[in-house]
Amino acid sequence: MCARRCNVEESRDETEPTAAPWYKDAIIYELYARSFFDSNGDGIGDFPGLTEKLDYLQDLGVTAVWLLPYYPSPLKDGGYDIADFKRVHPDYGTLGDFKTFVREAHQRGLKVITELVLNHTSDEHPWFRRAEQAEPGSRERNFYVWSDTPERYRDAGLPQPSPRHCRRSRSERPGKKSCLARRETSWS
């Protein structure tokens, strides 16, 4: 045991077996809240419905639930076009419903993995709105990749901007459109 600041190697008792990380043996069930289980009859899955089915998932042998994006979104890109990373899409319930789901999952020994995709936003997100209003070349503006034509990034495999994503910017000359193309971390 280390009483001072030490690295992991110094503090490990060599006689104790090293446990594998939890995810090595996990049975992970990926699900989209919108289509999993509808608790209120509106035709859209929600967190109360997910909570209701936790025993079912546990009976299947699931040890972790991987949630696809459940944040507020205009849903133009399967929920990956996120408008607010701090809230729950109202179709899926409330933040309280989400917290109840996580608490109930943990009480059953289930881990919860959320898909947090910070390099995707909708044009409704404050980051995009600031970028759209910023001057070309500014830090805010450079948070996104802009183009006058969807052809510029066609080979990048990005979804083509819809008219909603191609809006005139006040910082551009009149008549010129700026189109959003998502900045991907894997671009070389």
> For residue 56, what is the domain's CATH number?
3.30.750.90
| Pairing between β-strand 64-67 and β-strand 28-31 as defined by DSSP bridges | parallel
Domain boundary among 85, 114, 143: 114
| Cβ atoms of 124 and 77 closer than 8 Å | no
- On whether residue 171 sits in a domain, the answer given is yes
- On whether residue 65 sits in a domain, the answer given is yes
Residues 88 and 146 in one domain: no
Chain segment 149-186, per-residue pLDDT in tens: 777 777 765 555 544 444 433 343 343 334 444 433 33
Q: Is residue 125 predicted with pLDDT exceeding 80?
A: yes
Domain boundary among 114, 143, 163: 114
Expressed as residue numbers, the domain containing 175 is 126-181
Handedness of CA 97, 103, 109, 115 (dihedral sign): positive
Q: Which residues pair with 36 in a beta bridge?
A: none
Whether pTM exceeds 0.85: no
Chain segment 43-85, per-residue pLDDT in tens: 999 999 999 999 999 999 999 999 999 999 998 888 888 899 9
| Cβ atoms of 146 and 178 closer than 8 Å | yes
Rounded-to-integer distance, Cα 21 and Cα 160, Å: 39
Residues 96 and 136 in one domain: no
Q: What is the mean pLDDT of residues 89-112?
A: 97
Residues 30 and 72 in one domain: yes
Residues 108 and 130 in one domain: no
| Model confidence band, residue 15 (pLDDT cutoffs 50, 70, 90) | low
Residues 106 and 36 in one domain: yes
Residues 137 and 58 in one domain: no
